[in-house]
Amino acid sequence: MNTDLQDYSHKRFNILTGEWVLVSPHRAKRPWQGQNEAVSNEVRPSYDESCYLCAGNTRINGEVNPKYENVFVFTNDFAALQTDSKTFTVDDGLLKAQSEQGICKVICFSPDHSKSLADMAPAEIEQVVLEWQKQYKELGDNDLINYVQIFENKGAVMGCSNPHPHGQIWSQTTLPNEVEKKDTQQRNYYNEHKKSILGTYLAQELEKQERIIFENDAFVVLIPFWAVWPFETMIVPKKHQTNISEMKDNETLLFAEAISVITKAYDKLFNTSFPYSSGIHQSPTNGEDNSHWHWHMSFYPPLLRSATVKKFMVGYEMFGSPQRDITAESAVKMLRNLL
């Protein structure tokens, strides 16, 4: 391992976005006198009559949830994107805007209000994965939709307004900013080398074994060399697959196992229900050749030193570039020891 990376400030390049992150290892030793978050170790019931996501309960729009037994999906009652919004453009000098249409859905992972993905068995998580595949295909087949974003916000500190285990699926006409950057970087590499940039990167990481947390026959869980968040991780398929619909045979269960392993490790790290935002980046559904894409799932947890100390993306991060203190290699050791 390069010891300079553990001792001195430096920049690391994100091959998927073309951007840099500043790493300052020496700052991890500084005392903390800032804000401390409340520790969330709430014991929730399996059913909450006031929860609008629990099976059989009535949502705010008056619709009644079915008595679902595993996974339940519905169109978001307060969707950020709509299919019937007016189509328009604004092109007034430097004032530019355009309408955007889409479909937003909510996916309940389990009818058990008390659970999170970390509490679910791989076989239960696989049911979520299978539904993700179904939604990606159905939404992507809609001529209106050119990209499907699957994500989860877990924990109040990440803006989650309901603790019931659930995620969201936003699909839209154009590519979001982060996806646009990854599309460009992957396409450029693929056009030059005729192979996936993530596949090449993964081979290098598997050889070095410095940032690998877990692997099975189909997937690798690692902390990217360029990670921004203190305990950011990525799940990458070993095969070059452009999107989640390409998983075959038992690969969906192996993907579920990878999700189970990392979410359980997160909860053990600071002995708390670990908050994060997670999301799957995969090929657009625009009908074009997207062979350059190599799909992956990322977890962005905000906790820094303990269950009460959060990493803030402010100041330099807002006006300069992302910055982290604890190195990716140090974070890997902490998580790997919890498996």
103 membership: H or E segment, kind and range: strand 102-108
Query: What count of Cα atoms within 13 Å lies in the side-chain half-sphere of residue 333?
Result: 6
Residue pair 237/247 in contact by the 8 Å Cβ criterion: yes
Number of C-beta neighbours around residue 190 at 10 A: 19
Residue 10: closest CA among 20, 29, 23: 23
Known catalytic residue at 166: yes
Residue 310: closest CA among 319, 318, 301: 301
C-alpha distances in Å from residue 198, one per residue of 7, 16, 164, 188: 27, 8, 33, 12
C-alpha distances in Å from residue 290, one per residue of 126, 146, 177: 26, 12, 17
Phi, psi of 310 (to 5 degrees): -105, 145
Q: Which residues pair with 94 in a beta bridge?
A: none
Tokens of 155: 């924990």
Rounded Cα gap, residues 294 and 242, in angstroms: 5
Q: Of 113, 164, 166, 240, which one is the catalytic site residue?
A: 166
Q: What is the largest CA-CA distance in the chain?
A: 59
Query: Would you name the residues annotated as active-site residues?
Result: 166
